[in-house]
Amino acid sequence: MLSSGRGGEFARTIAQDPRSSIEIRLQERRFLPQSLRNVAVLFRDGSVSVVGPLESAQLPEDFFRSLPMGGVSRRVVGNEEYILYAAPIGQNRTIVLYESQDFLAGPQFAVFVSLFFGILAFSVILFFISLSFARKVIRPIEELADRERAYARHIAHELKTPLAVAKSDLQLALVEKETAQDRILSAVAEIGSMRDTVDDLLLFSASGSLARTVPTDIRKLLSELVAKSEFGSRFDVSHDPDAPETVESDSKILSTLFRNLISNAIVHAPADARISVRFSKGGFAFSNPAPDADPKVIRHAFEAFVGTPGKGSGIGLSLVKRIAEAHGWKTSAELKNGRVAIGITF
């Protein structure tokens, strides 16, 4: 007969050999099955004392006998399988920890699910880490490709006008013998200017920064560029008393910025409209009437290839923005009371 309960012989067993001592002995065997809830003590004379929530009356006496010491074993009673672990305590007793397989199946499944989702979470984290690393590697390549494309657009844009002037001078030199020398010299000057522009834009577009800066008189530079323009008479240039005369810049790159602002104003203003340029303490702005301006286009004025159909390529202001940013300046475009103002803030 099995004796069952939390007192009796089991209590005396624990008193004779404390549980802490039992756990130490089990740990020495590197196995302490914490999930086996039920405990039985097998005595040398064959009697068994059982303590635990499991209904022990269902178990025959030989259920606890002939168990391998220090290892896990399985036994079946009826249609139910049990997991047992046996270890000697002293010379006359054996402790048996056991549990129904059905009870253990739940924790085992939970462990499996936890392991599965743990592996899944690790895989997802690893994927995003790899994606982030790939983006860091690819981003510089993409930026270089963008600079190359921008360079090609800017070079083509900047060469159109001087090429047209040089072509016109050479054509006139062929038919106007008396002015041929002056025309040829003018064409040579334009070609030299184009060469310098290409060199400067090559350096600027490749790096996105200014290679050299010196104090540059922006008022004088703008006045010279306006005077060279065939529409220079339409410009009204003014400055506030506290407006700076010079800025740290590369005069050739700054000339490119001004030429594009001049060209943009001429192209988008009505033929007889006055164009104003005002220098202030905080920067300067080009303003001109624009009765047909589209507010949506103005909001995206500094993006490449955004422009009014039939009025330019949409590259000029994107180059203006790029040059301004290289100086640490900010750009703005505003449509107010039928006038467009393109501003540069220092």
Q: Residue holding tokens 């059905």?
A: 102
Answer whether 0.75 is exceeded by the pTM: no
Both structure tokens of 324:
């301004």
**Which of 104, 121, 143 is the endpoint of a domain?**
104
In a domain, 155, yes or no: no
Domain CATH code at residue 75: 3.30.450
Q: Is residue 169 part of a domain?
A: no
Q: Residue 188 falls within a domain, yes or no? A: no
Q: Considering 62, 77, 104, which residue would you say is the last residue of a domain? A: 104
In a domain, 207, yes or no: no
Q: How many independent structural domains does the chain possess?
A: 2
209 within a domain of the structure (yes/no):
no
pLDDT in tens, the chain (346 residues): 444 443 344 434 444 444 444 444 444 444 445 567 677 777 777 777 766 555 555 677 777 778 888 777 888 887 888 888 888 877 778 888 887 776 655 555 555 556 777 787 888 888 878 777 777 777 777 766 776 676 666 667 667 777 888 888 898 888 888 888 888 988 888 887 777 667 666 656 655 667 678 999 999 999 999 988 888 899 999 999 999 999 999 888 898 899 889 988 998 899 889 999 999 999 999 999 988 888 888 888 888 666 555 455 566 788 889 889 989 999 999 999 889 999 999 9
Q: Tell me, what's the pLDDT at 150? A: 64
d(CA 43, CA 274): 114
Q: How many CB atoms lie within 10 A of CB 93?
A: 17
Pairing relationship of beta strands 93-100 and 214-217 according to DSSP bridges: unpaired
Point out the domain boundary residue: 64, 89, 104: 104
Residue at 152 is within a domain: no
Please indicate, yes or no, if residue 115 is contained in any of the structural domains.
Answer: no
The closest of 281, 250, 265 to 317, measured between CA atoms, is: 265
What is the spatial distance between Cα 105 and Cα 74, in angstroms, rounded to a whole number?
14
What CATH number did the domain enclosing 229 receive? 3.30.565.10
**Residue 65 lies inside a defined structural domain of this protein:** yes
In terms of residue numbers, what domain contains 313? 214-345
